[in-house]
Amino acid sequence: MNSSPVSPLVQDLDPEKMPAHVAIIMDGNGRWARQRLLNRVQGHEKGAETVRTIVRASREIGISHLTLYAFSTENWQRPKIEVQALMKLLEHFLESEQDELVENDIRLNTIGETERLTTGTREALARVIHLTENNKSMTLHLALSYGSRSEIVRMVQLLAQKVRSGEVDPRDITEDLVTQHLYTGKIPDPDLLIRTSGEMRISNFLLWQIAYTEIFVTPTLWPDFSREEFLGILKEYQQRDRRFGKIDV
């Protein structure tokens, strides 16, 4: 829909105009599997391979923050067997990727209600977060049990507690203070949001943070999303005129 038909090379991209933060809604694993008469979990397994490809490409290109929507608060309502398979897949991914994350100076972070995840998944996450905590070149943020509305409710609760204790005066509540109390408090807002599989919706992802984000929707299903298409989207992003509500002078 929006992706460039010609795939550029990394050197065709302008290093000065690289997005600092790319966020991705990875959609279409189930459809990819169905088209091949496979089960949904096999679609997620192939999707995990795409995660590896896009993490590598992002690091190579020099993106500072990559946020991947890996499991939403709504995804808990999927069949138990699929939820369990996704948790196991995440654990395997963390196990198989931890050395590469360390070697490539990539820090792992999570956003979302991670306390709801299984003990095994939480332990695997804690291990890799600890192993990579001093890495500086890129941060991979996995949105897990994440929902933007519940993130906003949590922010309101945190601020309300601070008002009640006298730490914050309601007149001092600014956009910056709100931002600081979200999971993404210390991360710049996404410059670019990509959604695969063609759906034209945001699905409760980073609602506050994407106020001025450039959005790209591609019909490609996540397991088929490639490094080449990613580079094409970055090239097109660099050609967009970002005005942040102002006019060109």
Interface residues with ligand FPP (CB under 6 A) are: 26-31, 44, 47-48, 51, 68, 70, 75, 89-90, 93, 142, 197, 222
Look up residue 161 and give its two tokens: 């507690």
Q: Find the shortest distance in angstroms from Cβ 213 to ligand FPP.
A: 20
Task: Select the residue whose beta carbon is closest to ligand FPP and give its number.
Answer: 30
Q: How far apart are CA 179 and CA 119, in angstroms?
A: 29
To ligand FPP, the closest distance from the beta carbon of 198 in angstroms equals 10
104 is catalytic: no
* Residue 59 Cα to chain centre, angstroms: 14
Q: Of these residues, 27, 29, 109, 191, which one is catalytic?
A: 27
Residue 51 CB, nearest distance to ligand FPP (Å)?
Answer: 5
Phi, psi of 22 (to 5 degrees): -115, 130
- Closest to 145 measured CA to CA, from 157, 135, 154, 158: 154
Taking residue 155's Cβ as centre, other Cβ atoms within 10 Å add up to 19
Instruction: Answer whether 205's CB lies under 8 Å from 146's CB.
Output: yes
Q: Which of 21, 235, 233, 31 is nearest to 139 (CA)?
A: 21
Taking the complex as a whole, the smallest distance from the CB of residue 132 to ligand FPP amounts, in Å, to 15
Catalytic residue among 2, 14, 29, 75: 75
What is the distance between the alpha carbons of residues 186 and 182, in angstroms, rounded to a whole number? Answer: 9
Compare residues 100 and 172 and give the one whose CB is closer to ligand FPP. Answer: 100
The answer to whether the CB of 83 falls within 8 A of the CB of 116 is no
> Which residue number, 28 or 232, has a Cβ lying nearer to ligand FPP?
28
Is 2 a catalytic site residue? no
Q: How far apart are CA 84 and CA 76, in angstroms?
A: 10
| CB-nearer residue toward ligand FPP: 26 or 61 | 26
Which lies closer to ligand FPP via its Cβ, residue 142 or residue 233? 142
Cα distance between residue 248 and residue 51, in whole Å: 37
Query: Least separation, in Å, of the C-beta of 113 and ligand FPP?
Result: 16
Q: Which residues are catalytic?
A: 27, 75
